[in-house]
Amino acid sequence: MSSSLVLHAVPGIPMVEPGDDLAELIIAALEGAELSLQHDDVLVLAQKIVSKAEGRYAYLNDIEPSAQARELAEQCDKDPRHMQVLLNESREVIRRRPGVVIVEHVLGYVHANAGIDRSNIRSDDDNPRLLLLPENPDRSAAQLRDTLKARLGLSVNIVINDSAGRAWRNGTLGFAIGTAGFEALENRIGEQDLYGRPLEVTEVAVADELAAAASFVMGQGDEALPLVLIRGAKLRPSSDGSKALIREREKDMFR
């Protein structure tokens, strides 16, 4: 059986401000692009717009760095206030070297700089600010799904993606930090290959594959577009969010 998948980068999402209603912005952007949402579509949102709508800013002038933050700033050649924000967002510093800090985020992701973003953020010189990850991206995704269902009468799947580096390979790649509506990690245990043998690969990170695909499309225009509509994905319904994608610390050989 053949399958195809279509991804549209959706233009028309304005600069998002704290308190903005993302569902409303998304519905307007889709209408403006003459794209009508269908049942089982996937919407992929760049983390930035979710964080901005949630007002997830930290203002550096409000931050008093601890001794630990000062030490980390020294080791990594960074602003101590920035390192304090990073420590507040992290469970553990996993690797450090000049210019790079890799942490386990409080949400469980191993992520350079705890996913904290300085680019594309309007900041006056007087009080620069950082943008943090959403407080609970699975919850944000689930709420958006519920709101779209209430307003449009349609069940869509949601992915919130971010772009980050990884071990062993150069370059950043989109990955899923929050999902709603589907199995983020598909368990194929018990399925068989063409010869009737059990599949060797038993868990597939489908949410990350979709997040990576959307990240590619987001970066394709003259400027990055933070919303991608994916049509044609066959996903397994689930209300579990994306936590299954995070490897438990004790099973991780690369900490």
Q: Does 189 sit near its own copies (CB under 8 A)? A: no
Distance between CA 23 and CA 16 in Å, rounded?
12
Task: Find tokens 């942490």 and name the residue.
Answer: 103
Q: Does 125 sit near its own copies (CB under 8 A)? A: no
Within residues 143-172, the interface with its own copies by CB under 8 A covers: 163, 166-172
Nearest to 42 by CA among 244, 232, 217: 232
Q: Does 128 sit near its own copies (CB under 8 A)? A: no
Instruction: Tell the smallest beta-carbon distance from residue 221 to its own copies (Å).
Output: 4
Q: Does 103 sit near its own copies (CB under 8 A)? A: no
Q: Does 216 sit near its own copies (CB under 8 A)? A: yes
Alpha-carbon separation of residue 210 from 157, 193, 244 (angstroms):
11, 23, 16
Nearest to 147 by CA among 136, 158, 162: 158
* Those residues with Cβ within 8 angstroms of residue 64's Cβ, 6 or more apart along the chain or in another chain: 81, 84
62 secondary structure, DSSP code: G
Q: Does 10 sit near its own copies (CB under 8 A)? A: yes
> Using the rule CB under 8 A, which residue among 26, 45, 58, 110 binds its own copies?
110
* Strands ordered across the beta sheet of 90-97: 90-97, 100-105, 110-112
- For the CA atoms of the chain, what is the radius of gyration? 19
Instruction: Tell the smallest beta-carbon distance from residue 243 to its own copies (Å).
Output: 10
Instruction: Tell the smallest beta-carbon distance from residue 8 to its own copies (Å).
Output: 5
Within residues 71-100, the interface with its own copies by CB under 8 A covers: 95, 97, 100
Instruction: Tell the smallest beta-carbon distance from residue 85 to its own copies (Å).
Output: 15
> Using the rule CB under 8 A, which residue among 61, 99, 190, 234 binds its own copies?
234
Q: Does 60 sit near its own copies (CB under 8 A)? A: no
> Using the rule CB under 8 A, which residue among 44, 63, 160, 206 binds its own copies?
206
Phi first, then psi: give them for residue 246, nearest 5 degrees: -90, 120
Q: Does 126 sit near its own copies (CB under 8 A)? A: no
Tokens coding 246:
């995070």
